[in-house]
Amino acid sequence: NPAKIVLVHGEATEMGRMKSALQRRFENEGKSIEIFNPKNCQTVSMEFKVDKEVRAVGKLADSVVLKDGERVSGLLVQKGFKHTLLDPKDLQTYTQLSAGTVTQKQVIPVEIPFLSLSDQVASIFSKVELKEGKGGKQVIVIDPGVELHSEDDKVVVMQWRSDPITDTIADSVVAVLMQLQMKPSLGRAETGVPYRVMKSLAADSGERDEKTGEKKLQSPEAGLIDEVLESIFGKVQQDAKKGEWIVSVGDVTASIDMRTHAVQCKDDRVKSQIRVAIKRIVQALYPIDCGC
């Protein structure tokens, strides 16, 4: 015996008569049945009360032993009143569905060096890594999967697999790049040091040592960098002919260009520590970039 009856495709008056006749009949039999006679294009909503059960299948069922109150995570697939919980990798095995991904690319113009862009991104996001991509070009990787590829000096290609998290990160990166485009004074040199500080060091006339005849830098920035590097890494030597600071950390030796602050070192860990130290010194000297 049906619990609900829907009358369709009939003349309105005759449908009303049939509805009344059916109601009288079922009432005489002591049955309670809901009868609908909707107009054309009218929506009919019916509530079905059933016990919802979820069946775990595949790898998920093999790997999980559930206890009362314990949570389990998986992909829930509903077909009619049937619910199936499975591992996303089993989707094609147990259903006729297939998973797909959307990879997005965006070409963004930039006016700052790529390493400077890496510093800017690293100051915002906690997990940023600089890698070497195809053809030796550098790639900035932002966890969980946004990549910035260096195409040339003025173009960056951002690539990511679309999902709510990576889409948000991509939007934030675009906002940062647009801000840098609007405010050129925020530009940095390849090591993240403001251009005006590099110019200050490069223009320093210095003085020559009476014994060796070698030239020494006298700018406050250069002196402070020398002192702080020495307090962190030990004795720092100056090679005036090459215009470099020489830092030794155990068996590892690194050279720092006095003009550009570029660091040359075979040990990536020591190289990164020196770059961070120089950057922080300059940020302490110039907490607000006035663009001067």
221 CB-side CA count, 13 A: 25
Q: What does DSSP assign to residue 95?
A: S
Name every residue whose Cβ is closer than 8 Å to that of residue 171 and which is 6 or more positions away in sequence: none
- pLDDT per position as a tens digit, 58-111: 888 887 777 777 788 889 999 888 899 998 888 888 888 888 889 999 998 887
Identify the burial level of 221 via C-beta atoms within 10 angstroms of its C-beta, where 0-12 means exposed, 13-18 middle and 19 or more buried: buried
Cβ–Cβ < 8 Å for 198, 261? yes
Answering whether pTM is above 0.85, one says: no
Q: Angle at which helices 114-122 and 164-182 pack, to 10 degrees?
A: 120
Residue 63's pLDDT is: 77
Name every residue whose Cβ is closer than 8 Å to that of residue 83 and which is 6 or more positions away in sequence: 52, 53, 54, 55, 76, 77
Give the separation between CA 11 and CA 146, rounded to whole angstroms.
Answer: 61
- Given CA atoms 67, 71, 77, 82 in this order, what sign does their dihedral have? positive
- Give CA separation, 34 vs 5, 9, 47, 90, 213, in Å: 6, 18, 11, 41, 106
Tell me: pLDDT of 287 over 80. no
Unique residue bearing structure tokens 């070192």: 265
First to last CA, the chain: 87
Residue 284's pLDDT is: 63
Question: Number of helices (H) and strands (E), helices first, in the chain?
Answer: 8, 16
Amino acid identity at 23? Q
Closest CA to 158 of 142, 146, 144: 146
Confidence of residue 225 (pLDDT cuts 50, 70, 90): confident
